[in-house]
Amino acid sequence: MTGSDPTMAEITAAVEVGRAGDPAAARGLLAALWERIGPAGDPLHRCILAHYAADVAGDLQEELRWDERALAAAGEITDERARALDPSLRIAGFYPSLHLNLADVHRRLGDDAAAHRHLGQAAERVDALPGDGYGAMIRSGIERCGERLARGDRSVSG
């Protein structure tokens, strides 16, 4: 997927640094890439970078900013651009995950109204998810987030 796209290869490498246990280094790499891409750069790069930067954010407010950036950039991506990265991608399939992430961070911040709004938007778009493990993971995440929200649970995991 990233072989012919050097920016995606850099994003993937930064994500791997975070997954290997060094979120601070991943944050630095992703922030530097964000500065290089810029606010007018390729929206697919901005969306994916911001989506992963939220995962290694240092605090909830930073996570929220990255999640909001990812959603905003998604609105600028065409299916044609997504398919140029991977022929199986459709931008509609991004939205359930993006809204789930926003619902979850709002839940942890105690903004139940925003959490409910984004959770509803995620649930409304699940038909765009593939019927594979990824789709099942997002559907399950929506259900778990809804349960935590109903309990007033502000924890990271539950």
Q: Verify that 97 and 34 share a domain, yes or no.
A: no
Q: Is the per-residue pLDDT at 19 higher than 60?
A: yes
Q: What pLDDT does 32 receive? A: 97
Q: Verify that 62 and 94 share a domain, yes or no.
A: no
Asked whether residue 83 is assigned to any structural domain, the reply reads: no
Q: Where are the alpha helices (DSSP H) in the chain?
A: 6-19, 23-37, 43-55, 60-74, 79-85, 95-109, 112-124, 133-151
Nearest C-alpha neighbor of 108 from the set 73, 149, 142: 149
- Total structural domains within the chain: 2
Asked whether residue 15 is assigned to any structural domain, the reply reads: yes
Asked whether residue 131 is assigned to any structural domain, the reply reads: yes
Asked whether residue 57 is assigned to any structural domain, the reply reads: yes
State the pTM of this model.
0.93
Q: Verify that 62 and 95 share a domain, yes or no.
A: no
Write the pLDDT tens digit of every residue in 31-89.
999 999 998 999 999 999 999 999 999 999 999 999 999 999 999 999 999 999 889 88
Which residues make Cβ contacts (< 8 Å) with residue 6, sequence separation at least 6?
A: none
Q: Verify that 51 and 98 share a domain, yes or no.
A: no
For the residues 99-120, what does the mean pLDDT come to?
98
Asked whether residue 121 is assigned to any structural domain, the reply reads: yes
Q: Verify that 54 and 107 share a domain, yes or no.
A: no
State the residue range of the domain holding 116. 90-158
Nearest C-alpha neighbor of 126 from the set 104, 150, 149, 96: 96
